[in-house]
Chains A and B, each alone.
Chain A
């Protein structure tokens, strides 16, 4: 297996790990966002609670939860490893850099966006994952939906969530299409389609997630 370690520890291999874990997290976001969007059905959170209940007890989902944390940690660890290696490659910095002339700011700021996302994620997991998985406070009368109603009464929390979603949107906008490029899938036949789907995906996911705390805060959903 030395060949595999060598391959995955090369500059290309580190990127491949980034791409595969990234696409895995992208597929998770789709499920997470789809389930949470049921709050907009205005059924008092009935569909959402049913989904959350299923997620909390289905053994396959619970196993995938461990895989998900593994994928997330690998994505973070690999990103950190790349960042540390890359920053050594230019020991003397340029005095003047006109980055805007040749690339998008968010493509150059994936590490920063990722760090913001990690901070947001810690807050987010403390709010809901901790509540639903590690405490016994989740009951028939105090559902995850009720918890969302309580948490999103604070304007500061809503602001943190909206900023988190903006970071997520930009992180995805670059990450989605970048993952395909890293895996070697760049071709005039399908690359424009990948970029379009990536942009639509990023905007929809970020906007839907951001709409949730806003909707709770302004009592737009029952």
Chain B
């Protein structure tokens, strides 16, 4: 069909975390430019299943850019060539006919490969858990605006909370650092009055957990911010640094 793509895919295949992986090359043809990248992989997988081969394992869930599951490192960039999108929102019109596309999993010692392109991102969950509780009453939600917060502050906190925990920041970083993620999770609470009470303790605990998980340090290259599908700002990392040091230097 006219306008359809014939592509060469170099995909990382790895049975599990214990064995070494390698690239396999696949040819796909007649790929519609309207397809998402994941749908293109679906086409390949249908064929592999029909041929009795093992389909390519990859994470995906919502397929509308909000869950953060689709972790693919495409042609040297997390989530492929476009800015501000997840892999499921990357469409095949971003590629040229005859192109070779290299697909790798997120690579970090803290994100071990489960299979093929699927990595274990539980380290992120443990960082969040290390943050502990927020002092709010349980039970019925209180009335809206009973705790007045200026819109700019609420917006800032919301912008940090937009992080979907996909791990593109870690994948993009030359040090596999999780600072953008951790700082967003620290900021979303530190920016609101409800999160103030435990803000210092939370920053210390989450940073300690982040280091323990085996993520690298920050070189301030800004690659994470550029590759983040949700546009999380480097300002959050500066805020995390402030929260962390003001707490370590003042806590009792």
Determine if B109 and A91 form an interchain contact, defined as CB atoms under 8 angstroms apart: yes
Min CB gap B221→A, angstroms: 4
Instruction: Confirm or deny: A75 has a beta carbon within 8 angstroms of a beta carbon on chain B.
Output: no
Determine if B176 and A89 form an interchain contact, defined as CB atoms under 8 angstroms apart: yes
Determine if A101 and B208 form an interchain contact, defined as CB atoms under 8 angstroms apart: no
Determine if A90 and B107 form an interchain contact, defined as CB atoms under 8 angstroms apart: yes
Min CB gap A139→B, angstroms: 47
A103 CA to B223 CA, complexed, in Å: 5
Task: Report if A185-B104 is in contact (Cβ < 8 Å); known contacts: A15-B217, A99-B174, A101-B226.
Answer: no
A18 nearest CB neighbor, chain B only: B217
Instruction: Confirm or deny: B239 has a beta carbon within 8 angstroms of a beta carbon on chain A.
Output: yes
Select A107's contact among B104, B172, B222, beta carbons within 8 Å: B222
A99 CA to B215 CA, complexed, in Å: 19
A88 nearest CB neighbor, chain B only: B109
Determine if A184 and B242 form an interchain contact, defined as CB atoms under 8 angstroms apart: yes
Instruction: Confirm or deny: A193 has a beta carbon within 8 angstroms of a beta carbon on chain B.
Output: no
The interface centre, meaning the residue of B10, B217, B223 with most chain A CB atoms within 10 A of its CB, is: B217
Min CB gap B176→A, angstroms: 4
Select A108's contact among B110, B174, B177, beta carbons within 8 Å: B174
Determine if A102 and B238 form an interchain contact, defined as CB atoms under 8 angstroms apart: no
Determine if B107 and A94 form an interchain contact, defined as CB atoms under 8 angstroms apart: yes
Min CB gap A213→B, angstroms: 31
Chain B contact residues (Cβ within 8 angstroms of A): what range? 35 or more
Instruction: Confirm or deny: B36 has a beta carbon within 8 angstroms of a beta carbon on chain A.
Output: no
A174 CA to B220 CA, complexed, in Å: 8
8 Å CB interface, A80-100 against B: 82, 85-86, 88-99
Residues of A within 8 A of B249 (CB): 7
Residues of A within 8 A of B211 (CB): 10-11
Task: Report if A103-B76 is in contact (Cβ < 8 Å); known contacts: A10-B208, A86-B175.
Answer: no
Task: Report if A98-B77 is in contact (Cβ < 8 Å); known contacts: A12-B244, A107-B222.
Answer: yes
Determine if A89 and B222 form an interchain contact, defined as CB atoms under 8 angstroms apart: no
Determine if B108 and A89 form an interchain contact, defined as CB atoms under 8 angstroms apart: yes
Residues of A within 8 A of B21 (CB): 92
Task: Report if A184-B241 is in contact (Cβ < 8 Å); known contacts: A7-B248, A101-B77.
Answer: yes
Determine if A12 and B76 form an interchain contact, defined as CB atoms under 8 angstroms apart: no
Determine if A102 and B218 form an interchain contact, defined as CB atoms under 8 angstroms apart: no
Task: Report if A181-B108 is in contact (Cβ < 8 Å); known contacts: A3-B248, A11-B211, A98-B75.
Answer: no
Instruction: Confirm or deny: A160 has a beta carbon within 8 angstroms of a beta carbon on chain B.
Output: no
8 Å CB interface, B218-247 against A: 218-223, 226-227, 234-235, 237-242, 244-245
Determine if A90 and B234 form an interchain contact, defined as CB atoms under 8 angstroms apart: no
Instruction: Confirm or deny: B73 has a beta carbon within 8 angstroms of a beta carbon on chain A.
Output: yes
Instruction: Confirm or deny: B210 has a beta carbon within 8 angstroms of a beta carbon on chain A.
Output: yes
The interface centre, meaning the residue of B215, B216, B221 with most chain A CB atoms within 10 A of its CB, is: B221
Min CB gap B243→A, angstroms: 8
Instruction: Confirm or deny: A16 has a beta carbon within 8 angstroms of a beta carbon on chain B.
Output: yes
Instruction: Confirm or deny: A104 has a beta carbon within 8 angstroms of a beta carbon on chain B.
Output: yes
Instruction: Confirm or deny: A186 has a beta carbon within 8 angstroms of a beta carbon on chain B.
Output: yes
A3 CA to B248 CA, complexed, in Å: 7
The interface centre, meaning the residue of B179, B218, B219 with most chain A CB atoms within 10 A of its CB, is: B219
Residues of B within 8 A of A110 (CB): 219
Determine if A181 and B73 form an interchain contact, defined as CB atoms under 8 angstroms apart: no
Residues of B within 8 A of A177 (CB): 220
Min CB gap B23→A, angstroms: 7
Min CB gap A16→B, angstroms: 7
A133 CA to B120 CA, complexed, in Å: 57
A98 nearest CB neighbor, chain B only: B76
A184 CA to B179 CA, complexed, in Å: 13
Determine if B107 and A12 form an interchain contact, defined as CB atoms under 8 angstroms apart: no
8 Å CB interface, B63-113 against A: 73, 75-77, 81, 102, 104, 107-110
Q: List 6 A-B contacts (CB under 8 A).
A: A4-B248, A89-B175, A94-B107, A101-B77, A108-B174, A178-B220
Interface residues, chain B, with chain A CB atoms under 8 Å away:
10, 21, 23, 73, 75-77, 81, 102, 104, 107-110, 172, 174-177, 179, 207-208, 210-211, 214-223, 226-227, 234-235, 237-242, 244-245, 248-249
Q: A89-B214, A99-B223 are in contact. List 17 more A-B contacts (CB 8 A).
A: A7-B244, A12-B241, A85-B216, A88-B214, A89-B175, A94-B104, A94-B107, A95-B23, A96-B102, A101-B76, A101-B77, A101-B81, A104-B222, A107-B219, A181-B220, A181-B238, A185-B238
